[in-house]
Structure 1
């Protein structure tokens, strides 16, 4: 399986789920629906409830405001330079995930805080202008059967960086970059030293704590009735906040900085 967690693909979505996927693409400003939404779509009633709860946050620009505050203090591990000529699709994937993962982290983090009662009643994040998502064509989301065995093994090795003890979710960014295995090899070489010395893990944990505080702030804006399966939804959302998205916001940002030798 390409996804350790069950998920409905965009191609297989029909009816209400297909409509919700289309609304997510339009509202978030992305061309692909992130795995977290596709996973929630497998749970009875979870996606309609969760999307209705957080869509107003996106429309008010609250995740965008949190992202701006987050980027000002973000801990970015220094990687060896990844500058150099690569297919344009490489930087398109990085730009898309840098934006979508980060705003999704805050929307989902807010939803999680609301579900577990961790709303910050004295927060300060205010609605603000939305930052336009990069409207870039992305390569196909690769599955194991689409690439050479050694490339898939590389994707799985990369997925272990920053996730302990065992990754529960396969980060989609690496699957989108599987069409550029030479670049992924360079990424592996750049991440290995900061993973070995603990720098990467420390940055991820520091950034997760910062993001959690900002998310608890914007959770004040959620207005919803408690769902029928709140604990299951909170657990599913938490997996992404603590693992796939929670680690990839740091890793993707570090890769982009290493690509440009400066702020992207």
Structure 2
């Protein structure tokens, strides 16, 4: 698939961009910077504006509080068991993305709502304690050249689950999991039935709708005026919120439940 979202690789970042990437890692509590931020770094002035706009949502625990409330009412498809011994990297990747994607869903969802003028007319963004970020090391982000052809084809097939016929963005979680091809095979077998019966799509849609309403309230806490590139930033952020992050929040949580790592 072609990549409509060019991005700056973390090792290639310099100057202000490198400093912002470091701040994002420290603030969100992750070892890698989400693709949405790395893509915004390619648009003139977009990354500093967007990060400064939403950083308080992380620092003050507003996004974390939204996650806690959201998880109480998440709809999850029921996958077959994925329990059993796997490389440690598998659960490290799942724990990291379960945390970062869900927190990002609310912070970036709030930014999207702010840029669209879709801010809730009432409601108070509530602060809360920060959720502990998993202290894990992740395997390298695999590219097509790094893995056997059959593994890469499975990554691409997995990326279609819960998304439009031709996904806009290749979810990074699958690329990190590509170093555990046997688990990817089990994962494809577990996701295929819930994609076929529609329960995966229904769960993703229900969770996106719930998250959107909460994000509209969080948007009340963003006071920064939209920049010159507001339309381009909104288009980029919405693609991630409504597709890659929006689907992977549900998929990753369902996988962790099937692994027995979390109860719901």
CA distance in 2 between partners of 1:161 and 1:155 (Å):
10
Q: Which residue of 2 aligns with 1:71?
A: 71
Paired with 1:100 and 1:106, the residues of 2 have a C-alpha distance of 10
Aligned residue pair count: 264
Q: Deviations over 1:5-53 (max 9, x none)?
A: 2011001111111010000000000000010100111111110100010
Aligned pairs for 1:57-96 (under 5 A) are: 57-96=57-96
Query: Aligned partners of 1:46 and 1:165: how far apart in 2?
Result: 29
C-alpha displacement at 1:110, in angstroms?
0.1
In structure 2, list runs of 5 or more residues that go unmatched. none
Alignment root-mean-square deviation, CA: 1.2
SS at match of 1:142: coil
Q: Which residue of 1 aligns with 2:31?
A: 31
Distance in 1 between the 2:105 and 2:161 partners?
19
Aligned to 2:123: 123
What is the deviation of 1:261?
Answer: 7.3
Cα distance in 2 for residues equivalent to 1:96 and 1:127 = 22
> In the aligned structure 2, how far is the partner of 1:142 from the partner of 1:89?
13
Contact 1:96 1:133 in 2 (8 A): yes
Partner of 1:186: 186
How far residue 226 of structure 1 moved from its aligned partner, in angstroms, is 1.6
Partner SS for 1:103: helix
Secondary structure (helix, strand or coil) at the match of 1:67 reads helix
Stretches (4+) displaced over 3 A: 1-4
Q: Quote the Cα distance in structure 2 between the aligned partners of 1:11 and 1:156.
A: 25
Gaps of 5+ in 1: none
Partner of 2:148: 148
TM-score, L = length of structure 1:
0.98
Is the contact made by 1:27 and 1:58 (CA closer than 8 Å) also made in structure 2?
Answer: yes
Counterpart in the other structure of 1:248: 248
TM-score when scaled to structure 2? 0.98
Q: Confirm or deny: 8 A CA contact 1:2 1:144 kept in the other structure.
A: no
Aligned to 1:219: 219
